[in-house]
Amino acid sequence: MIYMFEVSIRAEKTQELQPVYLFYKPQETPLELRKSIDGILASIRKRGESTIYDRIYLADELNKFFDKIKILMLGIPFEPQKLEGTGIQVLVFRIPNFLDGSEVNILAIADSEDSPIAVRRIIKKVLTKNKDKLKRLVELSLGKNVENIPSDVLDIYNELDFRISEVLRTKIRKIKWAEKAKLSAGIFGTIVGLSSMFLLTALVMWIDSIYGHFITKSRDLTVIMALLIILATGFFTGFVTGWSKWIKLSAPLVSIIGTTVFIQTLFREYIIMASQQLALSPLVFTVLVLVIMAAVVLLMYFISFAFGYYLVETRALTPPKMRIFLEKRKEEGAFWRMMAFLKRLS
């Protein structure tokens, strides 16, 4: 889940990044992160200012903080940082020539299980769909101090909040047992993959027995049917598992068991025939069969990975978490500096 992201544009006069929008929905943000952010917002609200000023101020402070990190990295591009022990990651990226030739800078905080590609793609998509609103925000707020931003900007903020919340909700994965990048996704994907392979193989064998073994009598048709079953099984395994981390578990299991099933069903007669015609020693023939099995395993793994990664992981989000379960460790690294910085502000 994308917990927060801010949009900044570089002002022409000062060449400094000025935030124009910040998306933050506290109801779907982990408790530990929400406490830090809400502490800052509470101190600002004591001044009696509106929520538009709260969020612009927060975005500006976060932007300055992560600018310091980028400076410390000696100019090296800020790659997605999965902050160990926190369950969140920080991304900083740009969308060039987005608004009248201006570059838009994005700083996002998301769940560490979400793919950085998915986070970038979804944010870019939602901003593109609401480009007119964002352009209006820039016209009203860019180059102005926080206290001089007109109050009707809040209406645009609220509309953008609603639209973005709706989009993010639709991007959350809908398969209950595989919505998170957990072991359950790998197990469920394995079960679905094996079930689909067994059912498809049984269906082919049943049709073959009814119509006079027309499939197994034709080598070409047998190979075609086997490839179609591999393709379908790879799709179900990859799509249901979804997360590449656990496709590494489900795809090999399904492919190894599935290849064994193929050898004992569709290709049994051809293997017996090949062993007789090739006249190889049992050891050499066994090695040859194992090499063929390994090739089939790699093919099914590649198919599963391709479907899971490109159709699910780079397009879907995990559901929001209530807690991020901070590990007890030395307070060092980007996350701890950020938390200490937020604490000082609050």
Q: Encode pLDDT of 254-289 as tens digits.
A: 988 888 877 777 667 777 777 777 777 778 777 887
Quick check: pTM over 0.75? yes
Which residue in the block uniquely carries the two structure tokens 């269906």? 203
Indicate the residue type of 170: T
Average pLDDT of every residue of the chain? 78
Q: What is the pLDDT of residues 155-166, one digit of tens each?
A: 888 889 899 999
Q: Dihedral sign, CA of 207, 211, 217, 218?
A: negative
Which residue in the block uniquely carries the two structure tokens 């608004």? 99
93-98 contacts: CB < 8 A, separation 24 or more? Answer: 93/120, 95/124, 95/127, 98/127, 98/131
Task: Please give the share of the chain, as a percent, with pLDDT higher than 90.
Answer: 18
For residues 307 and 240, give the distance between their C-alpha atoms in angstroms, rounded to a whole number: 9
For residues 188 and 133, give the distance between their C-alpha atoms in angstroms, rounded to a whole number: 42
Q: What is the pLDDT of residues 102-152, one digit of tens each?
A: 778 888 888 888 999 999 999 999 999 998 888 888 777 665 555 556 666
pLDDT of residue 343: 54
Domain residue limits, the chain: 2-172+324-345, 176-313
pLDDT of residue 11: 62
Q: Which of 62-71, 180-189, 273-282, 313-322 has the lowest mean pLDDT?
A: 62-71
Cβ burial, residue 105 (10 Å; 0-12/13-18/19+): buried
- pLDDT surpassing 90 at residue 340: no
For residues 88 and 105, give the distance between their C-alpha atoms in angstroms, rounded to a whole number: 20
For residues 194 and 253, give the distance between their C-alpha atoms in angstroms, rounded to a whole number: 9
User: In Å, how far are 82, 136, 164, 259 from 156, measured between CA atoms?
Assistant: 32, 8, 12, 57
Please tell me the total number of residues recorded for the chain in this structure. 346
| Nearest of 346, 325, 337 to residue 81 by alpha carbon | 337
> To which H or E segment does residue 198 belong?
helix 183-210
